[in-house]
């Protein structure tokens, strides 16, 4: 798979990104993690999504330990990470309350911690993890400029921002993407202007939890989830693909050209996501899945 830019002059990521949120739960050795990274890269999934807080501030370090076993692999990968959430943790003894912090001081400290943990000299993309009510767009812009000039962060973006919040920060410093949640059980970005903005500005959104954390396939027995699961199974059988492939294809069908972040330890699950790149849903198939999530037909 070819790497594609998120925007003009932006970072080039693989069309499917591997999410590392649960890596600490997998209980792997550094060698097992490295094997997973290498197998993902063989599929063309060379971009990996992190956040400093994942695994209670341990996931970046686990990933970095794996890369230390094969340092030359770093140049084939694109590393995305996030900052701006402060959790109370023994690994961050100066954090006394869960809070958001997008001050320049905190962003710089987070970047330095991430670089050390990931055993790398640069971050391909740094995202502000959550909107901060005290966000100073000018301060973030000055910090972003300094980190870019130092070569420590190549590109900046945000995660979970509303269109207005994105507009505010983008006016101060160019943003490459907004990483958001989108799947048939969370249709809000289709109607609240988030994806309209992404399409208008040509900033491809990254999509976290395209399978609703696995709830589209199993576990969630709510009426909506069961309805979506039945429709996914029916349409997938007719098209000759797996429900997981179909769910990713549903996200990919949007004209903003989303980039799904798939968090899984199973290479077969990554393979199913990659298969979605070859499937273009017809409008009626896409709408049938939307209707199952919404619980009603289009108005």
- Give residue 147's pLDDT: 98
Using CA atoms, how far residue 200 sits from 61, 167, 174, 195, in Å, is 37, 12, 15, 8
What is the chain's length?
A: 299
Instruction: List the end-to-end C-alpha distance of the chain, in Å, as a whole number.
Output: 38
The pLDDT tens digits of the residues spanning 15-56 come to: 999 999 999 999 999 999 999 999 999 999 999 999 999 999
What domains appear along the chain, each with residue ranges and CATH number?
Answer: 4-294 (3.20.20.100)
3-state secondary structure at position 288: helix
The pLDDT tens digits of the residues spanning 65-86 come to: 999 999 999 999 999 999 999 9
The pLDDT tens digits of the residues spanning 190-201 come to: 999 999 999 999
Is pLDDT of 243 > 90? Answer: yes
> Under a CB-based contact definition with an 8 Å cutoff, are residues 162 and 118 in contact?
no
3-state secondary structure at position 188: helix
| List of residues 6+ apart from 273 with CB closer than 8 A | 16, 45, 210, 244, 245, 248, 260, 262
Q: Can you list the positions of beta strands (E) in 14-77?
A: 17-19, 47-49
Tokens of 271: 């393979």
Instruction: Catalogue the active-site residues.
Output: 54
Model confidence, pTM: 0.97
């Amino acid at each position: 798979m070819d790497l594609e830019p998120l925007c003009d002059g932006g970072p080039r990521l693989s069309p499917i990104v591997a999410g590392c949120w649960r890596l600490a739960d997998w209980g792997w050795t550094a060698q097992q993690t490295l094997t997973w990274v290498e197998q993902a890269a063989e599929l063309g999934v060379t971009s990996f999504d992190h956040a400093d807080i994942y695994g209670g501030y341990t996931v970046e370090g686990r990933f970095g330990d794996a890369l230390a076993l094969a340092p030359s692999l770093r140049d084939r990968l694109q590393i995305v990470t996030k900052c701006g959430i402060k959790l109370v943790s023994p690994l961050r003894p100066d954090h006394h309350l869960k809070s958001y912090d997008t001050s320049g001081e905190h962003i710089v400290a987070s970047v330095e911690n991430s670089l050390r943990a990931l055993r790398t000299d640069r971050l391909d993309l740094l995202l502000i993890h959550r909107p901060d009510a005290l966000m100073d767009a000018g301060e973030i812009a000055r910090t972003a400029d300094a980190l870019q000039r130092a070569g420590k962060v190549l590109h900046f973006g945000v995660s979970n921002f509303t269109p207005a919040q994105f507009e505010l920060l983008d006016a101060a410093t160019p943003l490459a993407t907004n990483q958001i949640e989108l799947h048939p059980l969370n249709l809000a970005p289709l109607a609240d202007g988030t994806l309209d903005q992404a399409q208008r500005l040509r900033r491809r959104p990254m999509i976290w939890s395209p399978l609703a954390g696995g709830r589209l396939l199993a576990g969630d027995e709510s009426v909506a989830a069961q309805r979506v699961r039945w429709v996914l199974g029916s349409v997938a059988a007719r098209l000759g693909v797996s429900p997981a492939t179909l769910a990713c294809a549903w996200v990919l069908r949007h004209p903003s050209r989303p980039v799904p972040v798939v968090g899984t330890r199973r290479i077969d699950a990554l393979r199913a996501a990659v298969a979605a790149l070859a499937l273009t849903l017809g409008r009626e198939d896409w709408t049938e899945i939307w209707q199952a999530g919404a619980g009603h037909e289009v108005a």
